[in-house]
Structure formats: C-alpha cells, structure tokens
C-alpha cells in the first residue's frame, strides 16, 4: 500500500498508510537529511487536537500522523473508505524503522523518559540489533526548558552524528517536541509513545488479542489507573460521540480552525 494521503478525523489530519510506506518515507528523509516529523496517534492523541487548537495546528503540520489505535483506523475506514487492513502502531513502527536503519547504516538518537530506562532500552536493542549505531541518548528534563536549552539539545543531537531521533515523552509533549525541533534538527523525529518503556521491560504490552480488538486501553488503564483514568474514561466516549456526529454529517470538523502556537517550552 502506498501513502493514500491525509484524511480529516475530527479535525485532525491522519495519514492513511501501512508500515512499509511509513518506513520508506522516514528512511528517505533520513538519507536526504531532511526534517520530517512523525507521530502515531491513538484516541487520546486525536482528542488533544480536538480540544486544543494549538495542538491541532501542530498535528496538522506533521509530515506523518499514523493511525496508532484501532479506533483511529476504524474511524478512517468508516469516514473515508481507506480500507486500512491494520493500524500503524508506534512501538512496532519503531522496530520496523530500526530494522531499516541498520540496513541503511543510519545512526539513531533516543530522547525522553528516564536515564535508567534509556540504558536498559539501549542494552536490549543492541542485543536485537547488534549492528545498530546508537549515536546518543538523553533523558527528559521533566521540567520547563528554556530557549537556550532547546538550542543546546538540538546541538547535542546534531553533533552526535544521528540521522533520526526517536522521542518518548508521552502525548502531547512528544508531538510538541517533534513540531519544535523538526527544522532545527533537519532529520526525522519519530514520536513513539510508550515504546521506550515497553522495550526496556518497564511496562508490558497488551496481549495480541486486546490490541486486535481495540482494547489495549484497558491494559494501560490497569497499569497506570491514577495517571490514565481521565484519558480513557472521559476521552474515549467523547471520541465515539464525535466520530458518530461526523459520520452522520451532523458535524463537519474544520482542520483549518487551528491556532498557530507560540514557542512552547513543554517538550523537555
């Protein structure tokens, strides 16, 4: 399947494509040294764009927004007859891109999470991909960063020799990072959600059956109920309601009703 373009889902443009097309676009941008922002959106990610006009602007200016969650894929198929056979899940996309990066000899950088998670992630990835070149890694600061720190972070990543950067800051901070850094770094920036924690062995992924039936959120809610309850118990019903309204043409969301953000310091 080729990239079938972006489609309006509740006012957020989501890319209709498969893993092969996503990886091909990312690797090509890395080889060309071109800024290229990528994120994989589940329901929560789409809803951040619905509720926040500045975030909608960022998402709609990303180069690729893949349908990470099954309900997002179902939404594209329902509204736009895209006939996507499977979602493009951030953690799996990360492994697919790393596999291609090894073949193409492209060094990578990891930004986000905690240092101990990054160390375990790097150790495990080197066992899976012995030829993978990890140019560097840097944990989140977990605080507001300054414009000077942004320049310093960008300089560290560029001077490392990396050709692409994976970001694990969680939604919406990782999308803010990808938006803010794309032109500064001049390389693909791929926001991959909880992939760092999964592959470092900190969190367990949902069983295959739960992922297939769009129930991955139940597992994540059980893992982190205090942090995630509002995300799933409030936003999931809101997503279904708005999707129904758009499908029945009771509501026509307008992607251009967004607000260009000012410089945002939340990405650290």
What DSSP string describes 10-45?
TTEEEE---HHHHHHHHHHHHHHT--EEEEEE-HHH
Helices (H) and strands (E) in the chain, counts: 12, 8
pTM: 0.91
pLDDT band at 21 (very low <50, low <70, confident <90, very high): very high
Reply yes or no on whether the pLDDT at 221 is more than 90.
Answer: no
pLDDT (0 to 100) of residue 197:
94
Across the beta sheet with 188-191, what order do the strands follow? Answer: 64-67, 36-41, 188-191, 164-168, 108-112, 134-138
Report strand pairing: 12-15 vs 164-168: unpaired
- In Å, how far are 93, 182, 189, 249 from 22, measured between CA atoms? 8, 17, 13, 30
Q: What is the DSSP string of 68-79?
A: -SHHHHHHHHHH
CA distance 267 to 260: 16
pLDDT band at 143 (very low <50, low <70, confident <90, very high): confident
pLDDT (0 to 100) of residue 35:
97
3-state secondary structure of 200: helix
Span 60-80, average pLDDT: 97
Domains of the chain in sequence order = 6-210 (3.40.50)
- In Å, how far are 97, 125, 134 from 102, measured between CA atoms? 9, 11, 10
Question: Measuring CA to CA, which residue among 45, 10, 33 is closest to residue 183?
Answer: 33
What single-letter DSSP state applies at residue 205? P
Strand partners, 66: 40
**Mean pLDDT over all residues of the chain?**
91
Over residues 177-213, the pLDDT tens digits come to 999 999 999 999 999 989 999 999 988 776 776 567 6
Count other C-beta atoms under 10 Å from residue 221's C-beta: 16
pLDDT (0 to 100) of residue 140:
92
3-state secondary structure of 153: helix
pLDDT (0 to 100) of residue 251:
94
Over residues 44-53, the pLDDT tens digits come to 999 999 999 9
Question: Measuring CA to CA, which residue among 92, 77, 74 is closest to residue 236?
Answer: 74
pLDDT (0 to 100) of residue 258:
85
Q: Locate 12 and state its tokens.
A: 């957020």
């Amino acid at each position: 399947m080729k990239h079938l373009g972006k489609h309006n889902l509740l006012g957020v443009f989501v890319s209709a494509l498969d893993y092969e097309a996503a990886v091909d676009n990312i690797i090509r941008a890395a080889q060309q040294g071109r800024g290229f922002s990528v994120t994989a959106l589940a329901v929560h990610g789409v809803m951040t764009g619905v509720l926040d006009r500045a975030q909608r602007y960022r998402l709609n200016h990303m180069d690729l927004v893949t349908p990470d969650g099954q309900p997002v894929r179902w939404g594209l198929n329902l509204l736009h007859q895209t006939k996507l056979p499977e979602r493009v899940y951030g953690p799996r996309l990360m492994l697919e891109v790393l596999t291609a990066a090894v073949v193409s000899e492209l060094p990578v950088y990891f930004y986000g999470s905690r240092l101990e998670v990054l160390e375990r992630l790097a150790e495990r990835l080197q066992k899976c991909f012995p030829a993978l070149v990890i140019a560097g890694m840097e944990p989140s600061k977990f605080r507001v960063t300054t414009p000077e720190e942004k320049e310093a972070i960008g300089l560290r990543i560029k001077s490392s020799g990396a050709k692409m950067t994976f970001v694990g800051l969680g939604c919406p901070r990782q999308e803010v990072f990808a938006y803010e850094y794309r032109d500064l770094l001049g390389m693909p920036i791929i926001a991959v959600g909880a992939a760092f924690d999964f592959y470092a062995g900190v969190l367990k992924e949902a069983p295959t059956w739960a992922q297939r039936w769009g129930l991955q959120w139940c597992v994540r809610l059980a893992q982190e109920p205090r942090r995630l309850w509002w995300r799933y118990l409030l936003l999931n019903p809101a997503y279904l309601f708005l999707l129904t309204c758009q499908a029945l043409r009771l509501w026509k969301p307008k992607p251009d009703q967004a607000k260009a953000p000012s410089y945002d310091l939340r990405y650290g």
